Structure 1
Amino acid sequence: MDLHLLRTFVAVARQGSFSHAAAELGYTQSAVSQHIAALESDLGATLLSRRPVAPTTVGERLLEHAGPLLLRLDAARADIVRMTAPPATRLAIGVSPLAMSPSAAAMLAPFDLTVEVLSREDVLAGVATGSFDAGLVDGIAAPTDPLNLADIRPHQTVSVAEQPVAVILPDGHPLSGRAGLRLGDLADSRWIDAPDAGIPLAQLRTMSRSDGFRASLRYTGTDVLGLVALARAGHGLTLLPQSVAGGVPISAPSLVHRVEAIGDVPWLGQA
């Protein structure tokens, strides 16, 4: 399978347009059409419906493989460039919204930095492809367990911080005075789905082994303060590190909010 053709397919599927994909890739529309036809001929399957332009069922399955394949290729190229390039005088750091803990900030203090806040997935991809020298990512896990990060490329991972997690309840909620709450007891409550600014609901379902935690509100973006305000106003519950906004700690299962540093630069060894 020609990876150039695969990149063209991904661009067309994302844009929903042959002409827009051509503009993005710097090709003519005719060349894009030829790429798609060649890939479909190679695989013996129709990958895109034409009116409207959208992936077929087979095309959707190919997209599941295409993203990791192309990212791995970009990561390999970036790894070689990183090994042969002169040392950077300024570190570019990607950070997920809840990852900049006091200990992480202290660890970065000696360095000249550029910091960009992005989703967890974008931080991982940025480190893998060389857009960032290193990254800080967060998530929930059992105490001392590592985060379940996408295996994009070999990289050094160092634990930076762990702290309790807490549920943010509406002001005046009858459970707000509790010393702790069981996560499973909250499964049927109204939740805010904020996969980038908070803890993804899919993780809560996995951790509690429940199919609950259904979203009453979808919140996109990385503004944690906005997420807290919505939870306090009663739009739904959210789970955050306790240091961010207080809340009632989760007593069971045993969970922590964990921050990890990823990358291949010397400061990781100082954690």
Structure 2
Amino acid sequence: MKDVELRHLVAMVAIAEEGSFGRAAARLGYTQSTVSQQITALERAVGGLVFDRPGGPKPVRLTPLGAVVLAQGRELLAKADALAEAVARFKAGDGRIDIGTFQSVSNVILPSIISRLREEHPSCEIRLSEVPEGDPELGELDLLFYDGPLDGDLERLKLLDDPYLLVARPGDFPDGAVRLKQLDGRPMVGCHHTCDQRWMEPALAVAGAQPRIVFRSPGNETILSMVRAGLGWAVLPRLALRGSDAWSDDRLRIHELRPSLPAREISLHWRTGRTHSPLAARAIAIATEVASEFAPS
């Protein structure tokens, strides 16, 4: 049975529906001898006749074996058509993509990416996963947004630098940039040590500032709520503040830092050597375009 080919089955279906080899050949755009050769090859592969050929004007008829082969052949051809359609949709950008993400990207960058992918490929399936801070893994994800180095055999595409800014209540600091030394001894609402805080506190100490940590939270919104309540000031990435619309909040003031802390690098990661699906390749291109819109001017 391994010698049965789809073209053999196509010829068989045409003959069964047209009733003759000649009309089947005309329908398929073949010569009658070519159609006969296809059926001969099919009969050799299945080990018996699939058509009775009465000759003359009488129509050909399926043999009992032919009826079995035709029924199964139609199913195979339908599956082949479905496969061809699925491949065509995949190449056009449909299919599924799995993306890993984190707070700031989820709130600011990713919605624009998803919106554009959905607009271009309405039938695509997008699955998102929030990655754990401090120890994310690519796993079976197609793409992973992250703001730090990752172990493993991965490729990395830097999207943008995201600077850190000071956020406080109005009047807590004079207008304009704030010197890091001005933060020494003052109450700070910080992240957990698995977040940016693991390097931020040592960096502040080097600049002569040892703030007094009064609360820690991994959630940007929680941190900003504590700042609004007057518990202390905080240092957050620009994207996090943008995602929270902090600039339009009259209960908050945002200051640049002097000297500035090292900006975090937001990048896309994927498995080295992995062949991207058209959908994943398009997602990378859109992510690059969207990130450029949010990069600091």
Partner-residue secondary structure (3-state), 1:99: helix
Q: Report the CA distance between 1:137 and its aligned residue.
A: 1.7
Q: 1:135 aligns with which of 140, 144, 149?
A: 144
Instruction: Spell out the pairing of 1:43-192 with structure 2 (5 A cutoff).
Output: 89-100=95-106, 102-108=108-114, 109-110=116-117, 112-122=125-135, 124-125=136-137, 127=138, 129-130=139-140, 132-138=141-147, 147=148, 149-151=149-151, 153-169=152-168, 171-175=169-173, 177-192=174-189
> How far apart, in 1, do the equivalents of 2:105 and 2:211 lie?
23
Which amino acid in the other structure matches residue 262 of structure 2?
A: L
Measure the CA separation in 1 of the matches of 2:264 and 2:187: 22
Deviations 1:217-266 (A, max 9, x none): 122x4x32222111121222221123512411223135324321111344
Report deviation, 1:89: 3.0
Q: Secondary structure of the equivalent of 1:178? A: coil
2:177 and 2:132 mapped to 1: Cα distance?
29
Structure 1 Cα separation of the partners of residues 125 and 235 of structure 2: 33
Shift of 1:167: 1.1
In the alignment, residue 170 of structure 2 is paired with which amino acid? G
1:254–1:226 distance in 2 versus 1, CA, 3 Å: closer
How far 1:212 sits from its partner (Å)?
A: 2.3
In structure 2, relative to structure 1, the CA distance for the partners of 1:119 and 1:231 (3 Å cut) is farther
Report how far residue 182 of structure 1 moved. Answer: 2.5
The unaligned stretches of length 5 or more in structure 2 are 1-89, 118-123, 248-253, 289-297
Q: Which residue of 2 aligns with 1:251?
A: 258
Alignment RMSD, CA only? Answer: 3.3
Query: CA–CA distance in 1 between the matches of 2:231 and 2:101?
Result: 27
Taking the aligned partners of 2:197 and 2:125, their CA distance within structure 1 comes to 35
Q: 1:97, CA displacement in angstroms?
A: 1.1
Whether the aligned pair in 2 keeps the contact of 1:164 and 1:255 (CA below 8 Å) is: yes
Contact 1:135–1:261 (CA<8 Å) still a contact in 2? yes
**8 Å Cα contact 2:159-2:266 kept in structure 1:** yes
Runs of 4+ with deviation above 6 angstroms: none
**What CA deviation, in whole Å up to 9, does each residue of 1:82-126 have, x standing for no partner?**
xxxx9993222221212336455444532632223343335x22x
- Residue 215 of structure 1 is aligned with which of 204, 210, 213? 213
Larger Rg belongs to: 2
In the alignment, the residues of structure 2 paired with residue 101 and residue 259 of structure 1 have an alpha-carbon distance, to the nearest angstrom, of 14
Q: d(CA) in 2 for partners of 1:114 and 1:196?
A: 28
Tell me the TM-score normalized by structure 2.
Answer: 0.47
Distance of aligned partners of 1:181 and 1:158 in 2 relative to their CA distance in 1, 3 Å threshold: same
- Tell me by how many angstroms 1:180 deviates: 1.0
Distance 1:200 1:114, change over 3 A: same
Give the one of 194, 216, 230 matched to 2:191. 194
Indicate the SS of the match to 1:172: coil
Unaligned runs of 5+ in 1: 1-85, 139-146
TM-score, normalised to structure 1, is 0.51
Report the AA paired with residue 249 of structure 1: E
Q: Relative to 1, partners in 2 of residues 1:187 and 1:107: Cα closer, same or farther, differing over 3 Å?
A: farther
Percentage of pairs with the same residue: 12
